[in-house]
Amino acid sequence: MLFIAGLGFFLWTGEVGMALESTPGNTTAPCVVLEDNVLYGNNLTGIRVRGDVPVAIERCEIHSNGRAGVYLDSHSNVTVTGCDVFRNGMGGINIDKAAVAVVEGSRIYENENGGVRIQRSPGEDKATIDVTVADSRIYRNKRGGIRAMLPPAAKLRLQVFDSAVFRNWQAGIRVENDTTLTARGNDVFGNGTAGIVAYVSVVPPRVDIYQNRVSFNGTAGIHVINGISGPIGIRNNWVFNNERSGILCGLWSNPDAGLLDVAIVNNTVVSNGSSDQGVGIRNDSRGKALIMNNVVAYSYTTGIRTRECYDESFNLLFANGDIGNCCEDPGSAPYWIERTQFAGCPERGKGDLVCDPMFVDPDNYDFSLQDGSPAIDAGSDMGLYDDVVFPRGTRRNDMGATGGPYADLKGVSRGKSEYRNTKYETN
């Protein structure tokens, strides 16, 4: 093993700051460890890794390089742990032709062309890239936080877990083409466009987006233009205070842009929109969107809008379009109130309710349900949607993010105060 520690590299000349080439006899454990170094001011790249030798980059400060802070290519297998990667002229971590990349416990910020950029040049081999981002903070990057821009022939497995992706100039997490995205337990907020977006694609991404808090983003919270659900789909997210829609599918201007087949289940979608696009959950495509067991409240114009009525069931809607419910009976509301909640559809879907969900403390972004909420035990009675944890009521699905088999109980308290301060940036 080659071990490099504490040398404080200040490399100013040459193509890259440090190039690590593959050598015979590589193993799955790191063969090269680069630890406790500062790499900055190189004309091109701070660290460039080529070849299949496993490399660990730990507790390094990599900044102010002319292009990427860390550049991974040629089948590289790299883990970046506890690093600060910032103010580089291209991406913070640029992944191109790599095999495996893991970023954990790191801060990636203020890079010119994105925080984590994943790409593969057309005509390159079709091997799958595996990328995992966990327990990291990715913020204030131009062109987005995590950007996957693969051609249709390339394949990517991208996992983003327990990370804060915020205040990037464009989307927080953006994928396209043959990408399998698993995003779980993240705080995605304050980004210039969408929080999480599956972009226009020839090969639709496969998406599992669940147990995230997605808020205060410049357009939609979650936007799936093209995409199909994985085994989980879009579930148990807290989606609130986004500039336009909470969860948006397709493009109204081009409903046939590509394949859409997603499940939108057990989400809590609150206070989204400040314009005519201010809808809680919206499907603008001619594709399929299962909309079930959600709580949708306080949207700017309407609660649920689809191209065809009756695509939803077992949802609770309240005060969308700035119209409350005048009636105590959640199964009965005046015709004009009901039409406002469902974007002019003549009547609600099966099991839908129009009533106050009784949030615990909405002013402080706690959208969990009080005891006695009409959303408890009001979701679909199909067994596959049953609650796994049900401290109150029965096993039957509770509508919203705290119900169903993927109930998010931690997300209620996670990050209540981060939206107005810089806690994530300074810790």
Q: What is the pLDDT of residue 18?
A: 56
Q: Pick 311 or 196 by higher pLDDT.
A: 196
Q: Pick 125 or 346 by higher pLDDT.
A: 346
Q: Pick 112 or 16 by higher pLDDT.
A: 112
Q: Is the pLDDT of residue 10 over 70?
A: no
Domains and CATH numbers, the chain: 1-170 (2.160.20.10), 229-413 (no CATH)
- Over the stretch 373-385, which tens digit does the pLDDT of each residue have? 999 999 999 999 9
The rounded percent of the chain whose pLDDT value lies above 70 is 83
The Cα 377–Cα 415 span in angstroms is 27
Residues whose CB is less than 8 angstroms from the CB of residue 71 and which lie 6 or more positions away in sequence, other chains included: 16, 45, 47, 48, 49, 94, 96
Q: Is the pLDDT of residue 326 over 70?
A: no
- β-bridge pairing 128-134 and 155-161: parallel
Residues whose CB is less than 8 angstroms from the CB of residue 378 and which lie 6 or more positions away in sequence, other chains included: 314, 316, 351, 353, 396, 397, 398, 399
From the list 42, 85, 88, the residue with the least C-alpha distance to 62 is 85
- Over the stretch 76-116, which tens digit does the pLDDT of each residue have? 999 999 999 999 998 999 998 889 999 999 999 999 999 99
Q: What is the pLDDT of residue 257?
A: 62
- Measured from the Cβ of residue 381, the count of other Cβ atoms closer than 10 Å reads 14
- Residue carrying the six token digits 């994105």: 114
**Vertex 98, ends 93 and 101: CA angle to 5°?**
55
- Over the stretch 44-76, which tens digit does the pLDDT of each residue have? 899 999 888 899 999 999 999 999 999 998 889
The Cα 214–Cα 208 span in angstroms is 14
pTM > 0.85: yes or no:
yes
From the list 190, 209, 189, the residue with the least C-alpha distance to 198 is 209
- Measured from the Cβ of residue 373, the count of other Cβ atoms closer than 10 Å reads 24
- Over the stretch 221-232, which tens digit does the pLDDT of each residue have? 999 999 999 999
Amino acid letter at 48? Answer: R
Q: What is the mean pLDDT of the chain?
A: 86
Beta bridge partners, 55, equal 32, 78
* 3-state SS assignment for residue 286: coil
